[in-house]
Structure 1
Amino acid sequence: MKILIYLLLLIHIVLAIESEGTCSIKKEQCSARASKYERKENTLLYQIQSSIKAYSPCPKDPDDSCSCHTNVIEKDLAPFQSTGITKKAIETMGTYGTKYQIVDHTLYRQKTCMFPSRCSGIEHFIKPLLKELPNMEMIVNCRDWPQIRRDHGPKGPVLSFSKTNEYLDIMYPAWAFWEGGPAIALHPTGIGRWDKHRNSISMAGKKWPWEEKLGKGFFRGSRTSDERDSLVLLSRKNPDLVDAQYTKNQAWKSLKDTLDAEPASEVTFEDHCKYKYLFNFRGVAASFRLKHLFLCKSLVFHVGSEWNEFFYFAMKPWVHYIPIKSYPTEQELESILIFFKEHDDLAKEIAQRGYKFIWNHLRLTDVQCYWKMLLTEYGKLMRYEVEVDKNLKKII
């Protein structure tokens, strides 16, 4: 019996020694991890604080001058300042979009439009300006993708709603501010009507104040880009941290198109407001959802910086939203979400600034103002007398 007791004591001592050694190793590992996280935390805090310090807010425009965005027009038109816009340039660009004319304050367009609702959304903003605009011809690209590359191919004036720095297209406010946005089950005729969404989503934001929002990331959308995969996979591993699922779109054929899971139901923009952290990804080109997310007064995580619409440039990373590099890893997404969960006041502050910018500087009047300034400056570059093309039809 004594031998058995001695053996048990010996085993206990050995296990204690091993445990102490293991604990020591774990402490060193934990200390190293804590130190690494602390360094990253300090770096993020410094990045945010320095970005906010360097930021000069746009003044609110009581006269609807849309001054926050006008430098984009100057930059986009710069390649045509020396040569102007010639008849030959318009003829060369004819296949890259829909041809429009303004002659004697009357609007004309090609008889057929590849996307009628998109043309309608564009024309909604041009029609009220006709009395103030000079004669001009323009090629307006209604496709998702920009057309004129900097490095090769023909060069000429083509208007597109979004682009990367690889393209020379002239940006105009997307048709989807009024009509012809992406069609989904919740919006079968397209998202559209920015004025209505501003009201309904901001009301939902008030219904879900910051303190009552769910403290997790959120994303719903189709798999138009595999850049979104890491967030969806993180959601499956850690659903308490993020809820990200793929929905079905028109191109859906099998579960492979939703990363081997049943398609999730679509969620209204208003219901996005339940969550503190909202993710925006590019689609085929720039995502139409970005402007809507800010209205929830939630913190927006904007993944990738390549694609732009005209209003992106006035918004600053770390000031209005959180920039995430293209194709982030699950670990990177997890880390940044945990950081902001631990810095809740900072997250709320950035979310509020993002909301205020969109509310004050992306009104429907700002969109109309941008169209006016863009077409006015574009018209000044015309180097020939524009005569009515009999192959076009009169719009108004």
Structure 2
Amino acid sequence: MGEIASDGVDAGSSSSPTVVSKKPAYISGIFVKNPGVPIFLSVFLVTLFVTAAIFTRWVDVVIIPPLFHYCGDDGTYDIVFPDWSFWGWPEVNIKPWVQLSKDLEQGNLKKKWTEREPFAYWKGNTHTGKARKDLARCNPDGQHEWNARINHLDWRKGFKDTDLASQCTHRYKIYVEGNSWSVSEKYILACDSMSLVITPHYYDFFSRGLYPTVHYWPINERNKCHSIKYAVDWGNKNTEKAQEIGRAGSEFIKNELQMKYVYDYMLHLLTEYSKLFKYRPFITKNAVEVCSCLDKGMVKEFKEMSKVKGPSEASPCTMHPPYDAAELQSLLERKLNLTRQVETWEASGRV
């Protein structure tokens, strides 16, 4: 569990920012009775940036604390939190992770790596994000063979043919971000295929524990097609090493991303964050408990499938301490050097 837990963030630090308000807060018409309560606004695909000077006209605050979010990047302080797909995504026919991870393991057994298609595979909506639109150009066009098989998925036609466990049929699978990070990363890494990761700009709560040429192969975003072709050519010539990278990525997902550890991460994170509170949360008299019995169809099925039947019999895993500055710098340099090594190989053209 160490690589998931090594987040480099000390949520319990006394120097962490907290909301300090002197008057009731009005946000978008919502009246917040307790002005000391951190406000979490989750906006899908749209982020509203308001300068501190303007914002403090509405809420008298010293500083806004970091928000929980499914992903973060180098320019934000968002606290990464497991995304919804771990509990299933019924709208696109993706099962809860507790079941899907088992299905993917079984799917891997259907075809040996050496018997899989010797190309790089990706399936998804090519209209979400510039990187995906650019990736679509890497399909064979009669003049160029980039060793890629890019399949556009039209969401308007439904998701009957999107069974992820049946898509582990290629030696290489591509991960590319959309408008931001994508939930597909864990599904791609779990396939035993060598994952080709196009330069990511976002991270989720586990991906910073992955290393290029160890768990995946880095793809240069500025020259995707050429970079993908080189990666596939290299893998088809160095099959044992390519299989080793594919297995390492899958083993990371299998061992480090068990639901037990996902819940452990959530427990540790919320426990540390709660130490920052200047108030004691309580359940109001009018609160209504929500349960899966209120849902229907696949939504209810997935909630029942992912429901925890009882408390864990084992104690939560032990969190590693945050990295100090030197350790973090060493980790980042190692990743950068491994990526640069691949870029040097690409530039030479030798596989």
Letter in 1 for 2:147: L
Task: Specify the code of the residue in structure 1 equivalent to 2:3.
Answer: C
8 Å Cα contact 1:160-1:171 kept in structure 2: yes
SS of 2:21's partner is helix
Q: Which residue of 119, 138, 153 maps to 1:247? A: 153
Q: CA deviation at 1:393?
A: 4.7
In 2, the alpha carbon distance for the partners of 1:346 and 1:242 equals 20
Asked whether 1:199 is paired with 2:109, we answer no
Counterpart of 2:198, as a letter, is V
- Structure 1 pair 329/356, CA: closer, same or farther in 2 (3 Å)? closer
Q: In structure 2, which of residues 177, 180, 205 is the aligned counterpart of residue 310 of structure 1?
A: 205
The match for 2:303 is none
1:216 corresponds to 2:119: yes
User: Given the alignment, which residue of 185, 193, 197 partners 1:290?
Assistant: 185
2:260 pairs with 1:356: no
After superposition, the C-alpha distances for 1:159-211 in whole angstroms (9 at most, x for unaligned) are 111121222221111121003x3833xx1xxx240011101011010111212
Q: Deviations over 1:214-241 (max 9, x none)?
A: 1111111012123123432221325682
8 Å contact 2:132–2:178 — kept in the other structure?
A: no
CA distance change for structure 1 residues 383 and 297 in 2, over 3 Å: closer, same or farther?
same
* Contact 1:90–1:157 (Cα < 8 Å) also in 2: no
Structure 2 residue runs of 5 or longer lacking an equivalent are 56-62, 292-351
Identity of aligned residues (%): 20
Which residue matches 1:183? 91
Change (3 A) 1:142 1:150: closer
Give the match for residue 67 of structure 2: 158
Residue among 67, 80, 100 paired with 2:2: 67
Q: Residue type of the partner of 2:4?
A: H
Alpha-carbon contact 2:177-2:200 (below 8 Å) kept: no
Aligned to 1:236: 140
Greater radius of gyration (CA): 1
Amino acid in the other structure paired with 1:162? C
1:1-396 superposed matches below 5 A: 66-72=1-7, 75=9, 77=11, 81-82=14-15, 85-86=18-19, 88=21, 139-145=39-45, 155-179=64-88, 181=89, 183-184=91-92, 187=93, 191-223=94-126, 224-237=128-141, 238=144, 241-250=147-156, 266-388=161-283, 393-395=288-290
Flag structure 1 segments of 5+ consecutive residues without an equivalent: 1-65, 102-135, 253-262
- Cα-Cα RMSD: 3.7
With over 3 angstroms needed to count, the CA separation of the structure-2 counterparts of 1:343 and 1:182, relative to structure 1, is farther
Aligned to 2:187, the other structure's residue is in SS state helix
Residues 87 and 67 from structure 1, CA distance in 2 versus in 1: closer, same or farther, beyond 3 angstroms?
farther
1-structure distance, mates of 2:286, 2:273: 23
Query: CA 1:81 to 1:232, structure 2 compared with 1: closer, same or farther past 3 Å?
Result: same
Instruction: Spell out, residue by residue over 1:250-289, the C-alpha distance to the aligned partner (whole angstroms, 9 max, x if none).
Output: 5x9xxxxxxxxxx999542122211000001112221111
Give the structure 1 partner of residue 340 of structure 2.
none
2:139 is paired with a residue whose SS is helix
* Cα distance change on mapping 1:216 and 1:280 into 2, 3 Å: same
Q: Whole-Å Cα distance in 2 between the matches of residues 380 and 147 of structure 1?
A: 28
The answer to whether the Cα contact below 8 Å between 1:280 and 1:301 also exists between their aligned partners in 2 is yes
Task: Compute the displacement of 1:383 (Å).
Answer: 2.1
Q: 1 or 2, which has the higher helix percentage?
A: 1
Shift of 1:336: 2.4
Structure-2 separation of matches of 1:283 and 1:392? 37
Q: Secondary structure at the match of 2:151?
A: strand
Deviation at 1:299, TM superposition (A): 0.6
State whether residues 147 and 158 of structure 1, in contact with CA within 8 Å, keep that contact through their aligned partners in structure 2: no
Cα distance in 2 between the residues matched to 1:81 and 1:93: 27
Question: What is the Cα deviation at residue 394 of structure 1?
Answer: 4.8
Q: For the residues of structure 1 that align with 2:179 and 2:150, how far apart are their CA atoms?
A: 19
Does the CA contact (< 8 Å) of 1:149 and 1:166 recur in 2?
A: no
